[in-house]
């Protein structure tokens, strides 16, 4: 079975080797047909502490690394400074 890959935005990098990634999904409401946004936060393993707040990252499902961390950062696109 293939591993799930999600794209999201880093919202916290305060923990050592861990980032919190906010993933948003959009879908049409089954009755009202309006687009609904749902968000979920995942803790992901970042071995090099390379990701910063605001970066767009790809995370991949993996074996459990800690109690609530079972994702790893696969690819990071640094957000440009403004």
Question: Digits of tens for pLDDT over the chain (82 positions)?
Answer: 889 999 999 999 999 999 999 999 999 999 999 999 999 999 999 999 999 999 999 999 999 999 999 999 999 987 755 5
Strands (E), the chain: 5-12, 18-28, 35-45, 56-66, 69-77
Query: Domains of the chain, with CATH numbers?
Result: 5-77 (2.40.50.140)
Predicted pLDDT at 6 = 97
Angstrom CA distances, 21 to 29, 31, 32, 33, 65, stand at 25, 30, 29, 28, 16
Judge whether 69 and 45 are in contact, CB under 8 Å: yes
């Amino acid at each position: 079975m293939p591993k799930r890959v999600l794209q999201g935005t880093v919202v916290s990098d305060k923990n050592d080797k861990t980032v919190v990634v906010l993933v948003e999904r959009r879908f049409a409401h089954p009755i009202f047909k309006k687009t609904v946004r749902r968000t979920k936060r995942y803790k992901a393993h970042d071995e090099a502490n390379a990701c910063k707040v605001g970066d767009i990252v790809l995370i991949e499902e993996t074996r459990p690394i800690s109690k609530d961390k079972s994702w790893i950062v696969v690819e990071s696109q640094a957000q440009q400074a403004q």
